[in-house]
């Protein structure tokens, strides 16, 4: 009588991450998602670890576990925060990190494959055995379908060497006319008719001055 938690997709270029929970006696399976946005602009902040913990907490709460039923959670680093939080709630003796195999792994993988197929991508049959080939297969699909880059983990540092991803995280800019010198410029926000917009040079003349105040010390 054990609830087992696993993930799929954390090492894949496409989509976010599927987190699934399987009860080995009842056969009940539920899953939720860590959205791909956590692997894009904010990836370096590692907020995906906190989101994974929130997802796991929601999933576990959906199962009517008996007080003595153990919870086994995958050893993958995506669950480092989740495991600590579960142990605080359910106890260290009850929550264990394990290498997940079998039915749990199979169901979570199927859920991830269903999600990426919904994007229009057909995964390789041998994706688990040939991870390198799988990566380039996904990348070629994104090259043929650049509008789907919004579903890719573009925040991975290793992707910077590929031309396809060099502009994936560039902030959107908007054309405007400087309210002071009249020069056409670009700004990182949507201009409003009732507020003046300044080019970079003129902005220096209008930028608010800030004083740096030291904190008072107590003797």
Tokens of 24: 């080995």
pLDDT at 207: 55
What is the arithmetic mean of pLDDT over 46-70?
Answer: 96
What is the value of pTM for the model shown? Answer: 0.75
34 touches 12 (CB < 8 A): no
Longest dimension (CA), the chain: 73
Into how many domains does the chain fold?
Answer: 2
The span from the CA of 180 to the CA of 61, in Å, is 58
3-class DSSP assignment, residue 5: strand
- The answer to whether residue 64 sits within a structural domain is yes
Work out the pLDDT band at 210, boundaries 50, 70, 90.
Answer: very low
Residue 214 vs residue 112, higher pLDDT:
112
Q: How confident is the model at residue 175 (pLDDT cuts 50, 70, 90)?
A: confident
Query: For residue 213, is it within any domain?
Result: no
Query: Average pLDDT, stretch 20-38?
Result: 96
Residue of 218 and 180 predicted with greater confidence: 180
3-state secondary structure of 157: helix
Per-residue pLDDT, 172: 56
Which of the two residues, 101 and 205, has the higher pLDDT score? 101
Do 53 and 123 lie in one domain? The reply is: yes
Question: Does residue 79 form part of some domain?
Answer: yes
Say whether both 183 and 112 belong to one domain.
no
Residue 212, exposed/middle/buried by CB under 10 A (0-12, 13-18, 19+)? exposed
Shared domain check, 78 and 128: yes
Parent domain of 79? 3-165
| 141, part of any domain | yes
Other beta carbons less than 10 A from residue 158's beta carbon: 8
Give the chain's mean pLDDT: 88
Full DSSP string of 90-142: H-TTTEEEE---HHHHHHHHHHHHHHHHTTT----TTTTT-HHHHHHHHHHHH
pLDDT at 22 over 90: yes
Mean pLDDT (whole number) for 16-22 = 98
Indicate whether 127 and 47 sit together in one domain. yes
Looking at the structure, tell me whether residues 105 and 7 fall in a common domain: yes
Is pLDDT of 204 > 80?
Answer: no
Residue 166 has a pLDDT of: 79
What would the pLDDT profile of 66-108 be if each residue is shown by its tens digit? 999 999 999 999 999 999 999 999 999 999 999 999 999 999 9
């Amino acid at each position: 009588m054990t609830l087992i938690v696993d993930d799929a997709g954390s090492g894949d270029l496409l989509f976010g991450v599927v987190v699934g929970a399987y009860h080995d006696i009842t056969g009940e399976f539920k899953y939720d998602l860590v959205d791909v946005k956590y692997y894009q602009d904010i990836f370096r902040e590692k907020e995906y670890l906190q989101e994974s913990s929130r997802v796991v907490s929601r999933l576990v709460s959906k199962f009517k576990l008996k007080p003595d039923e153990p919870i086994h959670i995958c050893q993958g680093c995506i669950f480092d925060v989740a495991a600590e939080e579960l142990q605080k709630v359910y106890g260290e003796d009850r929550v264990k990190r394990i290498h997940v195999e079998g039915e749990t792994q199979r169901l979570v993988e199927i859920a991830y494959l269903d999600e990426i197929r919904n994007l229009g991508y057909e995964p390789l049959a041998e994706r688990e055995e040939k991870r390198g080939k799988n990566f380039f297969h996904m990348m070629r699909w994104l090259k043929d379908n650049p509008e789907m880059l919004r579903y890719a983990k573009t925040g991975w540092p290793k992707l910077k060497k590929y031309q396809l991803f060099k502009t994936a995280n560039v902030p959107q800019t908007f054309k405007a006319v400087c309210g002071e010198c009249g020069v056409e410029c670009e700004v990182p926000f949507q201009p409003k008719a009732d507020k003046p917009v300044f080019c970079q040079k003129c902005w220096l003349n209008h930028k608010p001055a800030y004083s740096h105040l030291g904190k008072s010390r107590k003797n």
